[in-house]
Amino acid sequence: MAVNPAVEGRTYSIPEPHVVTQDELDAFAAAVRSPGASSGATSQAAPLTFAVTIAQRAEAEFMVDPEANVDFSRLVHGEEGFTYHAPIVAGDELVATTTVRRVRSAGGHDMVTLETGVETTAGEPRVTTTSVVVIRGEQA
């Protein structure tokens, strides 16, 4: 079963705002070996890929939409991109909204382009992420 192309243009938001903590920034920085992780400094900007932890929650709302028809067990991550507007810091109250930009099929696989805006509850943009996920075809 293929991804339903009718979901192009739909949007999905995280259920409630997420308040960024210094502890989660520290844990993420350590996990990706960020240069800020060992400095012990507080109120540092989040590592460059931290926004994905928020964005993926909005993307997950798309993945579980029964009308989208995404077979999660066949899903692989094809591409990821970040465009930075302002640094994420501890205390930021963040929301994220995913827009389904494109659904297409090629070589028996479905490719879905998801664009997610991560911003504060005050509407200040932080990061825009773009993910391409590939849902492998049954024959692949």
Tokens of 115: 């664009």
Closer residue to other proteins (CB): 6 or 135: 135
Closest distance of CB 42 from other proteins, Å: 16
> How many Cβ atoms from other residues are within 10 Å of residue 99's Cβ?
16
Closer residue to other proteins (CB): 6 or 118: 118
Closer residue to other proteins (CB): 4 or 53: 53
The answer to whether the CB of 90 falls within 8 A of the CB of 21 is yes
Closest distance of CB 111 from other proteins, Å: 12
Closest distance of CB 6 from other proteins, Å: 27
DSSP 86-112: S---TT-EEEEEEEEEEEEEETTEEEE
Tokens of 105: 């099929």
Residues that bind other proteins (CB under 8 A): 24, 27-28, 30-36, 47-49, 52-53, 56-57, 73, 76-84, 130
